[in-house]
Structure 1
Amino acid sequence: MQASYWHEKWLQGDIAFHQFKGSPLLKAHFSALQLPAQSRILVPLCGKTRDIAWFVANGHHVVAAELHEPAVIQLFADMGIEPKVSRLAEYDLIHYQARANDLQIDIYVGDIFSLSGALIGQVDAIYDRAALVALPFEMREQYTAHIRALSGNASQLVITFDYPQHLLPGPPYCVNSNEIAQHYAQSHAISLLTSEDVKGGLKGKIAANEEMWLLKAKIEE
C-alpha cells in the first residue's frame, strides 16, 4: 500500500475512521492497561484523533506517528496548542512537539517504519486504534514486529474489525482472533475485552464486529 493512497483519502475527506468525539471503547477499557500516571503512550497512525487530547487530559504523555501532515496540523489546532516543528533529515521525518498540562506530546510525520526506539524513547503502552486494520495482510506482520521492537513488547490496546473479508475490500481490513494470536501470542497474553456489532454495518454495507483486545506483555523468566 503506497503512501499516496492515504494522502488521497485525506484530501478527498474519505476519513470515516476518524471519530469526532474520540473512541468510546478507549474510555470504557483504558483502565485495563493499569498504567501509572504520566505513562508514555504510543499511538501509531494517529490521524487527528481526539484520543490524544483524552490521554493528556487524563495525565499521560503521548508519542505518535502519522503519514499525512495536515492531519497533525489539524490535531494541534483542535487542541489549541502551537507545536514546535523540526525536520529530522536523517530519518526523513518531521517532529511536532508540544507540552500541555506539563505533559509531553511528540508526533512524528512520515513513514512509521522510519521510527526507531532510540529516536522515540520510552514507551509504556500502545493504543492501536486504526493502524493494524489499515494495513493489507502482507504488511501487518512487518508492522506488528516493528511495533514490538519500538516498544520493547509493551502492553497494548488494539481495536480490530471481524467480518467476512471477501464481502468487502478494506481498509479497514478484517483482523480476527486467529491473526491477533499469530502476531502476538509469543510476546503477549491476549484477552478480548469486548466485541460489539458495528451499528449500521461496516461502511453501511455488511455486518461486522468491532473488537478491543488487551495485549499484556509477558514477563520473561
Structure 2
Amino acid sequence: MEPGFWQDKWNNNEIGFHLDQVHPLLVRYWTTPPFLSARRIFVPLCGKTLDMHFLREQGAEVIGAELSGKAVTAFFAEAGVEPEVSEWSGGKCYRHDGITLFQGDIFSLTQDQLGPVDAIYDRAAVIALPDSLRQQYVRHLLTLTARAPQLLITLSYDQSQMPGPPFSVDAGNVQALYGDDYVITELAGADILDHEPGFRERGLTALAQHCWQLTPR
C-alpha cells in the first residue's frame, strides 16, 4: 500500500475511521495496570484521534506518529491551540502541552528520536496495514519501544467479503504477530456490525471488534 493512499483519504476527507468521541474501550481499560501508571505513551498512526486528549488528561505525555500533515494540523487546530513546529529526519514534529506528533513515515522514526515509552495504544495502526507490511510494522514498533506493553484494538471479518482497509486481524494473526514477545490477553470482544452500517453496505455479514492487552514476556 502506497503512502499516497492515506494522503488521498485525508485530502478528500474520506475519514470514516475517525471517531468523534474517545474510544469506549480505551476509557474502559486504560485505567487498569500496566497502563494507568504509564508516563509516556506512544500512539502509532494516530490520525487526529481524540483518544490522545484523553490520554493526556490522565497525566501522561503522549507521542504520536502520523503520515498525513493534514491530520496533524487538524488535530491541533480543532483543539484551538498553536503547536511548536520543528523538523525531524522524516518530516515535521509538532508539540504542544505534553503532546508530540511526528508527521512523516513511521518507518523513518528511530528509538532515539522517540525516546523511552512506557506503553503503546494501537487502535488504528495494525489494522490499517496489509499483510505485506504488518510484520514489518510490528518488528519496527517493538524496536522503537523496547517491547512496551500495548493496548491493542483490532477488527476481524471475512476478508473475502470486503477489501481493506481496515484489514481483518483475527486472534490467530495477533498470536502470530505478537506471541513471541508478549503474553496476549483478550479483554473484550463483540460483533459490532449493527453499529457500523457502512461496513454492512460494503458487504460484511459480521464484524468483530477485539481489545487485547499485550504484556512483555
What TM-score, normalized to structure 1? 0.92
Contact 2:38–2:119 (CA<8 Å) still a contact in 1?
A: no
Does 2:147 correspond to 1:153?
yes
Contact 1:189–1:216 (CA<8 Å) still a contact in 2?
A: yes
Q: Distance in 1 between matches of 2:32 and 2:133?
A: 28
Cα deviation, residue 36, structure 1: 5.0
Cα deviation, residue 57, structure 1: 1.1
Q: Distance in 1 between matches of 2:111 and 2:90?
A: 16
Cα deviation, residue 140, structure 1: 0.2
Paired residues for 1:101-180 under 5 Å: 104-180=98-174
Of 93, 99, 102, the match for 2:91:
93
Structure 1 runs of 4+ off > 4 angstroms? none
Does 2:80 correspond to 1:47?
no
Cα deviation, residue 158, structure 1: 0.8
3-state DSSP of counterpart to 1:63: strand
- Identify the residue that residue 181 of structure 2 maps to in structure 1: 187
3-state DSSP of counterpart to 2:48: coil
Q: Classify 1:167/1:151 alpha carbon distance in 2 versus 1 (closer, same or farther; 3 Å).
A: same
Cα deviation 1:46-68 (Å, max 9, x = unaligned): 00000011011111110110011
For this pair of structures, how many residues does the alignment match? 212
Residue identity opposite 1:212 in structure 2: C
Q: Classify 1:2/1:33 alpha carbon distance in 2 versus 1 (closer, same or farther; 3 Å).
A: farther
Residue identity opposite 2:175 in structure 1: A
Q: Distance in 2 between matches of 1:84 and 1:200?
A: 37
Equivalent pairs: percent with the same residue?
37
Q: Distance in 1 between matches of 2:23 and 2:12?
A: 23
What TM-score, normalized to structure 2? 0.93
Q: Distance in 1 between matches of 2:183 and 2:50?
A: 28
3-state DSSP of counterpart to 2:30: helix
Residue identity opposite 1:194 in structure 2: A
Contact 1:202–1:208 (CA<8 Å) still a contact in 2?
A: no
Cα deviation, residue 44, structure 1: 0.4
Residue identity opposite 1:39 in structure 2: R
Gapped regions of structure 2 (runs ≥ 5): none
Cα deviation, residue 173, structure 1: 0.3
3-state DSSP of counterpart to 2:22: coil
Cα deviation, residue 201, structure 1: 5.0
Q: Distance in 2 between matches of 1:174 and 1:43?
A: 20
- Identify the residue that residue 23 of structure 2 maps to in structure 1: 23
